[in-house]
Homo-oligomer: A and B are copies of this chain.
Amino acid sequence: MTEHDTHADTRAAMQAYGRRARAAARLMRNASGRAKAAALLAMAELIEARADTLKQENARDLEAGRNSGLADAMLDRLTLNDKALAGMVNGLRQIAAMDDPVGSLGPTSIRPNGMKVAQMRVPLGVIGIIYESRPNVTIDAAALCLKSGNATILRGGSEAFHSNQALGAIIQQGLAQAGLPADAVQVVDTTDRAAVGEMITLTEYIDVIVPRGGKGLIARLSSEAKVPLIKHLDGNCHIYIDKAADPGKAHDIVVNAKTYRFGICGAVETLLVHADIAASQLPGIAATLVSKGVELRGCERTRAILPTTLPATEDDWLTEYLEPILAIRIVDNLDAAIAHIERYSSQHTESIVTEDLAAAARFQREVDSSSVYVNLPTCFADGFEYGLGAEIGISTNRLHARGPVGLEGLTTMKWVLTGEGQLRG
List chain B residues, Cβ under 8 A from A424: 256, 260, 377, 379-380, 385
Please give the count of copies of this chain that the complex contains. 2
Verify if A425 is at the interface (C-beta below 8 Å from B): yes
B420 lies within 8 A of A249 (CB): yes
B373 lies within 8 A of A418 (CB): yes
Question: Which partner residue on chain B sits nearest A110 by CB separation?
Answer: B387
A417 vs B342: C-alpha distance when bound (angstroms): 19
Can you give 30 contacting A-B residue pairs, CB < 8 Å? A26-B368, A30-B366, A111-B386, A115-B380, A117-B387, A120-B364, A122-B368, A124-B398, A124-B399, A207-B399, A208-B398, A248-B421, A249-B420, A252-B421, A252-B423, A253-B421, A360-B418, A364-B416, A370-B414, A370-B415, A372-B415, A373-B416, A373-B417, A375-B419, A375-B420, A376-B418, A376-B422, A377-B424, A379-B425, A402-B415
A111 lies within 8 A of B252 (CB): no
A365 lies within 8 A of B103 (CB): yes
Given contact pairs A253-B421, A386-B415, A403-B415, a sample of 4 additional A-B residue pairs in the complex whose CB atoms are under 8 Å apart? A207-B398, A364-B418, A372-B415, A385-B424
A-B CB proximity, top 4 nearest = A249-B421, A376-B419, A371-B415, A256-B423
* A227 CB, min distance to chain B CBs, angstroms: 10
Verify if A135 is at the interface (C-beta below 8 Å from B): no
A232 vs B60: C-alpha distance when bound (angstroms): 49
Verify if A29 is at the interface (C-beta below 8 Å from B): yes
List chain B residues, Cβ under 8 A from A253: 421, 423
A44 vs B55: C-alpha distance when bound (angstroms): 71
B399 lies within 8 A of A228 (CB): yes
List chain B residues, Cβ under 8 A from A414: 368-372, 402-403
Q: Report the interface size class on chain A.
A: 35 or more
Verify if A143 is at the interface (C-beta below 8 Å from B): no
Verify if A181 is at the interface (C-beta below 8 Å from B): no
Which of B124, B372, B404, B412 makes the CB contact (< 8 A) with A416?
B372
Verify if A125 is at the interface (C-beta below 8 Å from B): yes
A387 vs B413: C-alpha distance when bound (angstroms): 16
B417 lies within 8 A of A374 (CB): yes
A419 vs B353: C-alpha distance when bound (angstroms): 10
Verify if A109 is at the interface (C-beta below 8 Å from B): yes
A403 vs B417: C-alpha distance when bound (angstroms): 12
* A423 CB, min distance to chain B CBs, angstroms: 4
A58 vs B160: C-alpha distance when bound (angstroms): 65
A375 lies within 8 A of B249 (CB): no
Question: Which partner residue on chain B sits nearest A402 by CB separation?
Answer: B412
A246 vs B419: C-alpha distance when bound (angstroms): 13
A103 vs B417: C-alpha distance when bound (angstroms): 28
A260 vs B353: C-alpha distance when bound (angstroms): 58
A364 vs B342: C-alpha distance when bound (angstroms): 44
Per-position binary interface string of chain A over residues 289-318, scored 1 when its CB falls under 8 Å from any chain B CB and 0 otherwise: 000000000000000000000000000000
* A108 CB, min distance to chain B CBs, angstroms: 11
Verify if A400 is at the interface (C-beta below 8 Å from B): yes
A26 lies within 8 A of B375 (CB): no
List chain B residues, Cβ under 8 A from A375: 418-421
- Quick one: given A412-B398, A413-B402, are A385 and B111 in contact (CB under 8 Å)? yes
A418 lies within 8 A of B387 (CB): no
List chain B residues, Cβ under 8 A from A109: 387
Contact residues, A28-60 vs B (CB, 8 A): 29-30
B122 lies within 8 A of A30 (CB): no
A109 vs B29: C-alpha distance when bound (angstroms): 29
List chain B residues, Cβ under 8 A from A372: 414-417
* A20 CB, min distance to chain B CBs, angstroms: 16
- Quick one: given A120-B364, A207-B398, A414-B371, are A376 and B115 in contact (CB under 8 Å)? yes
* A18 CB, min distance to chain B CBs, angstroms: 16
